[in-house]
Amino acid sequence: MKHVLLVLASVAALAACGEKKAPEAGGKTRIAMVVKSLGNGFFDAAHTGAEEAARELGGVEIIYTGPTTPSAEGQIEIINSLISQKVDAIVISANDPNALVPITKKAMQRGISVISFDSGVAAGGRQMQLNPSNAQLIGEKQIQMAAAAMQGAGELAILSASAQASNQNIWIGEMKKVLEQPAYAKLKLVATVYGDDQSDKSYREAIGLLRSHPGLKAIIAPTTVGIVAASKAVADEHLVGKVFVTGLGLPSEMAGHVKSGAVREFAIWNPIDLGYAATYAAHQFVTGKAKAQAGATVAVGRLGQVTMDGNGEAALGAPFTYNASNVEQFAKIF
């Protein structure tokens, strides 16, 4: 109980330090979206959603930025610059949940609203974390897809992003809980490896899994970079139909792999919606319409509203399944 009270007190304190009045008449609200790294299709789609929210809200300028390679150091440098520019809000997907806390705290002390999305900043360093979905549902969904491809039995492995990625680690934890259920007793997790969300390293790690575990039947990659790399590795090793890849991916990047048979199905929330909702929520905090407190609801435009829990987190929705029946349709969007 004491721990809960401390968390709630921390969230309430952030509400006070992060409040900021809307810009004066004629000025634009500047919202910076800081992504894990530039050139990532998932975040490019989130940027599209952010721009949509900006147009809908009016008087909002989006500053889209991020390091060239995914690192906390790169994001810290960028946030320092944004503080100097006196932006109104920072919307960030964190490369490291804890390393960013000092700099995002500094931003909030300067009156900048800080919202994390996708991969969260630790509770002390933001006003709200917008999760794309519920961690339990994400973990369960990925095991269900793998089990279906494996016909309910055999060895599987996980190819994740970085070992420090908070969202990846939470989802993997949920996957392991699901694997303990009697329904999945015949599935065996043999390895978890990390590609650091870099295509070449993820590919090498996938090749390593395939060669180290000849009995492998499935690779789960809860990362858009990793799932593409793993699919290519399966094709290059001539294992299509023997080893199936699933996880979280972008339709535009996965359509070919679904067609080849390396992937039967995969899941993802709509990153356009996620970027839209995070931007809309940030504007609500900037204008004082949202408060960082447990049980508070935050409007997210056309997507309705989300409710914050005692840790200052809210979930947008459940992951959606893509397969041969719909992937081409969605590939035209993101």
Is 166's pLDDT higher than 90? no
Rounded Cα distance, 128 and 121, in Å: 9
Rounded Cα distance, 227 and 121, in Å: 24
Is 12's pLDDT higher than 50? no
Rounded Cα distance, 320 and 270, in Å: 8
Query: Is residue 307 a contact partner of residue 295, using CB atoms and an 8 Å limit?
Result: yes
Mean pLDDT of 103-108: 98
Burial track 272-300 (b if 16+ CB lie within 10 A, e otherwise): bbbbbbbbbbbbbbbbeebbbebebebeb
Is 23's pLDDT higher than 90? no
Q: Around 41, how many Cα atoms within 13 Å sit in the side-chain half-sphere?
A: 20
Place 26 in a pLDDT band, splitting at 50, 70 and 90.
low
Query: Is residue 47 a contact partner of residue 275, using CB atoms and an 8 Å limit?
Result: yes
- Give the model confidence (pLDDT) of 59-78 as tens digits: 999 999 999 999 999 999 99
More confident residue, 261 or 1: 261
User: What is the per-residue pLDDT for 205?
Assistant: 98
CATH topology of domain 2-131+271-316: Rossmann fold (3.40.50)
Is 3's pLDDT higher than 60? no
Burial track 149-172 (b if 16+ CB lie within 10 A, e otherwise): bbeeebbbbbbbbbebbbbbbbbb
Give the three-class secondary structure for 44: helix
Rounded Cα distance, 152 and 49, in Å: 37
Give the three-class secondary structure for 309: coil
Q: Where are the domains of the chain?
A: 2-131+271-316, 135-268
User: What is the per-residue pLDDT for 132?
Assistant: 87
User: What is the per-residue pLDDT for 108?
Assistant: 98
Is 19's pLDDT higher than 70? no
Predicted TM-score (pTM) of this structure: 0.75
- Give the model confidence (pLDDT) of 286-334 as tens digits: 999 999 999 999 999 999 999 999 999 999 987 999 999 999 989 988 8
Q: Do domains 2-131+271-316 and 135-268 have the same CATH topology?
A: yes
Nearest to 31 by CA among 13, 49, 12: 49
Is 30's pLDDT higher than 90? yes
Mean pLDDT of 100-119: 97
The amino acid occupying position 178 is: V
Is 9's pLDDT higher than 90? no
Helices (H), 180-270: 199-212, 224-236, 251-260
What's the mean pLDDT when you consider all of the chain? 92
User: What is the per-residue pLDDT for 55?
Assistant: 98
The correct answer on CATH 3.40.50.300 for the domain covering 135-268 is no
Rounded Cα distance, 241 and 297, in Å: 46
Mean pLDDT of 9-23: 44
Query: Is residue 70 a contact partner of residue 95, using CB atoms and an 8 Å limit?
Result: yes
Place 134 in a pLDDT band, splitting at 50, 70 and 90.
confident
Mean pLDDT of 79-83: 98
- Give the model confidence (pLDDT) of 251-298 as tens digits: 999 999 999 999 999 999 888 999 999 999 999 999 999 999 999 999
User: What is the per-residue pLDDT for 157?
Assistant: 98
Rounded Cα distance, 95 and 72, in Å: 5
Residue bearing tokens 């360093």: 125
